[in-house]
Structure 1
Amino acid sequence: MTLKEFWRNYNIYDGIKNIADSWEEVKTTNMKGVWNKLWPQFAHGFKGFAAEDIAEARQAVVDIGNNQLQLDINEDDVLDLLESHAEELTNEDLMELEQQMIAFEEEGRDQETSEPKKFLTKELAEAFRLIEAGMSKSQQAITVAVSSRTLFNMADERAIYESDGLESYVKYQLDHENEPLKKGLAFALMKALETVNFRLHELYPGSDETFDIVLMTNNHAQVGVRLINSINHYGLSIERFCMTGGTSPINYLKAYHTNLYLSSDPMKVANALSEGIAAATMCHLDKDTQLSEKQLRVAFDGDSFIQQEQDNKKGMRTSGLFIGNCKESEDRVFPDNGTLVGFLESLGRLQKKFYAKNERLNCPIRIYLIVKKGGSTAGLKALKTIRSWGLDVDEAFILNGLPANGLLSKIGPHIYFDEQTLQPTSSTAIAQCKSR
């Protein structure tokens, strides 16, 4: 046969057969030698199991079978089992396995003969009731939303924004994102709220009825990295954030189930009040006063809401935080609950949880009443009004004309509800209370 005839008769089958025959002649030592040169760190010198190792393994299998599984086996049984698995399955074996799988699936379908469960209207109503109960449990927390510029002192960063524009501001924040921001007006208040939460968890493990802090900011989300880093630096327990990238965060307060919104911007406070959300303007009553981080202190100016109540009885329309707008009937005036009353009632429930555990004297929530102008009659009305919200006043100061400035410095309230402090900022809402 000439070379030309050989190539004429040579086909793909012959090529594959030649490759297979050649591959059979390649030894393991040849492969190891090649890999040692190409990739030595992944090559190994394994030459198979030693005979004594195999014998020990077989004996171990026999010991487990006899001692732990209570089987009567010996080494020959183990060898027979291994040899049976070493053999290639025949077509008959494969067909038998397929028949076994089909029988197994049919048996499973036969067991699924029960009809789908049908729910009655009563059962569906109960299911929805349980779902609503679960959702309401997650909403038991008293949500306090605080603005980023209130929690942290961002005056320097704000100056960059006003002088150099948004992009310079964002760049500065990104360049300094690992530097913690300075503490702001609301910092001590946040620490006091965390103290209340810590004590509640001690007395009521697993309870959801605590303060839940949300950081609200109209900053870009990229700036939020520095905010979160600052929160972690100071060890604050804030896990909820709202970063709106230039739009007003007021639009999202209801989505976060906000009970009280705190900001240093009176306009934002007014907007929140107009949405029916309790809000307060943060400002210093006395910059030299050191506020407690171990006790939440709330003070009320009793004169303000007593005067408003008297105006309501006379039929004068007011838009206050405590009493609310009036609805006139034929013979009397019915005041609605004020914007802040819902928050104060929730605060009262937390206060009572400490009292229930005989912790009245060690309660981390302390309520103060200051009546500056009135005497005992005004003080009595104020005490009863606050009590109607579910709050117990711990300390009351009826001054009957004495100045209250020194007293406020001594108390150091985190929140001072004074409806006569700020002037109205809109026709629908008045930011008339101070928060330290």
Structure 2
Amino acid sequence: MVSTIQNTDVKQKDADRAVVVAVTSRAVFESGADGDDVYGMGVAFPLLQALQRVNKRLLEENPAESLLFDVVLITTDSQQQQQSCRIISSTRHYGVLSALLDRQEAPSEQLRVMFCGDAVNRPDAGPMPASRQAAQNFSAQLGEMRQRFGMSDSPLRIVLVTSHGGRESCGALRTLRSHGVNVDEAYCLAGAPRSPILSVVRPHFLLSDGFSGLED
């Protein structure tokens, strides 16, 4: 049985405009001693900090802004399900911006999103898979958010990495721009491995076929 708990400390402005990010509570909070009121910070905590920073800056630019991130914490661990009160206490203790709670390192200054040129340029054959459609919608929302900020001091950074140069790079840039996404940085690897760039950029989201996240 799936049930949800509303975090009353967070006011969702517009459910239709919200960019929803689902994260497991185990990735966000590390279980502590039984006597602790709140959990410790988990590996995905920098991601939530970066999302929260983007939301804060968007609202500073425009208090009526409705294109904001909402985070859903998903709990599948039976022990944490039994201790849902501690999850709620943890979100309030750290100021986690989660709008919904399912029973079941240093703060990040920027939310970093990396697009892979190979996936961006992949031609669509037949009906578009739901995962690819979701990725394109997510990308468009990120692009719209990025446009809210100037070239410098943006809390959101978008990076494009292509395996080869020439047509691949140009095609990927054109495709992203057609979805309203302008990139801050572009890297052409010329056949080199991608891992060194990943270790430098350390993206929170790596968008390829669909998306895989939590690179922190």
TM-score range, shorter chain: 0.7 to 0.9
Count of residues in correspondence between the two structures: 202
What is residue 108 of structure 2 aligned with on the other side?
293
> Aligned to 1:390, what secondary structure does the other structure show?
coil
Deviation at 1:341, TM superposition (A): 1.2
| CA shift in 2, pair 1:291/1:370, >3 Å | farther
Match of 2:4 in 1: none
1:224 matched to 2:84: yes
Matches within 5 A, 1:3-402: 137-154=14-31, 175-178=34-37, 180-218=38-76, 219=78, 222-244=82-104, 293-306=108-121, 308-309=122-123, 312=124, 319=129, 321-322=131-132, 338-354=133-149, 359-372=150-163, 374-402=164-192
Match of 1:433 among 206, 212, 215: 212
In the superposition, relative to structure 1, how do residues 205 and 320 fare at CA in structure 2: closer, same or farther (>3 Å)?
Answer: closer
Counterparts in 2 of 1:152 and 1:234: CA distance versus 1, 3 Å: same
Q: Residue 70 of structure 2: SS of its match in structure 1?
A: strand
Q: Return closer, same or farther for 1:416/1:238 CA change in 2, 3 Å cut-off.
A: same
Give distance in 1, aligned partners of 2:98 and 2:211. 27
User: What secondary structure is seen at the aligned counterpart in 1 of 2:158?
Assistant: strand
SS in 1 for 2:21: strand
Give the whole-Å Cα distance in 1 for the aligned partners of 2:120 and 2:55.
29
Question: What secondary structure does 1:192 align onto?
Answer: helix
CA distance in 2, matches of 1:386, 1:153: 37
**Equivalent residue letter for 2:155:** P
1:312-336, Cα deviation, whole Å (9 max, x unpaired)? 46x7x885843xxxxxxxxxxxxxx
8 A contact 1:177–1:229 mirrored in 2: no
Structure number with the bigger relative contact order (C-alpha 8 A, sep ≥ 6) is 2
Give the secondary-structure state (helix, strand or coil) at the position aligned to 2:134.
coil
What CA distance in whole angstroms lies between the structure 1 residues aligned with 2:16 and 2:148? 17
CA 1:298–1:233: 2 relative to 1, 3 Å: same
DSSP-derived class of the 1:206 partner:
coil
| Offset of residue 202 of structure 1 | 0.9
Aligned-residue CA RMSD (Å): 2.8
Q: Distance in 2 between matches of 1:187 and 1:400?
A: 34
How big is the shift at 1:346? 1.4
Distance in 1 (alpha carbons) for counterparts of 2:192 and 2:25: 37
- Asked if structure 1 preserves the Cα contact closer than 8 Å seen for 2:19 and 2:141, the reply is yes
TM-score (structure 2 length as normaliser): 0.80
Q: Contact between 1:177 and 1:225, CA under 8 Å: does it hold in 2?
A: no
Question: Which segments of 5 or more consecutive residues in structure 1 lack a partner in the other structure?
Answer: 1-135, 158-171, 245-289, 323-337, 420-430
Alpha carbons 1:176, 1:226 under 8 Å: kept: no
Q: For 1:320-367, what per-residue CA distance to the aligned partner results, in whole angstroms no more than 9, with x for missing partners?
A: 843xxxxxxxxxxxxxxx22111111112211222xxxx232221110
User: Partners in 2 of 1:418 and 1:138 — Cα distance?
Assistant: 26
The answer to whether the 8 Å contact 1:195/1:294 transfers is yes
- SS at 1:339 equivalent: helix
User: 1:199 Cα shift?
Assistant: 0.7
Please state which structure has a larger fraction of its residues in strand: 2
Bigger Cα Rg: 1
So what's the TM-score if we normalise by structure 1?
0.42
Please tell me whether the aligned partners of residues 27 and 44 of structure 2 are also in contact (alpha carbons under 8 angstroms).
yes
Aligned residues of 1:193 and 1:211 also touching (Cα < 8 A): yes
Query: How far, CA to CA, are the matches of 1:432 and 1:305 in structure 2?
Result: 12
Counterpart residue identity of residue 233, structure 1: H
From the superposition, tell whether residues 319 and 141 of structure 1 become closer, same or farther in structure 2 (CA, over 3 Å).
closer
Alpha-carbon distance between aligned partners in 2 of 1:433 and 1:243, rounded to the nearest angstrom: 23
